[in-house]
């Protein structure tokens, strides 16, 4: 049993990263799981491929399996992450986009 517990702890430690402190459930804020691993009513549309680093793919799958208890598909988790990213950085994205998107005339 000790060996399985040690393996489980190592697996959990692999999920930790530099932003770990920021995702802790702070009073008045949603926990990481409730923010990103909540079920959504999105339907998988078509076959859109994206390419990820193997380490990121493995890490994302582990997060879905462990924190999300395998109750949400990977594409829905990624959709939640991207939705949050665009909400947080919408203004900066628009500013940079407009700098690089010059009118032709």
Is pLDDT of 87 > 90? yes
Range of the domain at 80: 11-16+32-40+48-105
83 within some domain:
yes
Q: In whole angstroms, what is the distance from residue 38 CA to residue 20 CA?
A: 19
The predicted pLDDT at position 28 comes to 59
Residue 22: inside a domain: no
Whether 27 is in a domain gets the answer: no
Determine the Cα–Cα distance for residues 89 and 85; give it in Å rounded to an integer.
6
What residues contact 18, with CB distance under 8 A and at least 6 apart? none
Distance CA 24, CA 37 (A): 14
In a domain, 93, yes or no: yes
Distance CA 16, CA 97 (A): 33
Reported as a single tens digit per residue, the pLDDT across 40-82 is 676 666 678 889 999 999 999 999 999 999 999 998 899 999 9
Overall domain count for the chain: 1
pTM above 0.85, yes or no: no
Assigned domain for 6 exists: no
2, part of any domain: no
């Amino acid at each position: 049993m000790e060996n399985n517990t040690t393996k489980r702890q190592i697996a959990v430690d692999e999920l930790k990263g530099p932003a770990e402190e920021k995702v802790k459930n702070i009073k008045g804020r949603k926990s990481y799981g409730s923010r990103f691993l909540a079920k959504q009513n999105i339907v998988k549309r078509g076959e859109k491929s994206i390419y990820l680093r193997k380490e990121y793919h493995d890490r994302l799958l582990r997060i879905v399996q462990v924190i999300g208890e395998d109750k949400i598909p990977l594409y829905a988790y990624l959709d939640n992450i991207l939705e949050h990213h665009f909400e947080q950085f919408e203004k900066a994205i628009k500013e940079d986009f407009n700098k690089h998107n010059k009118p032709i005339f």
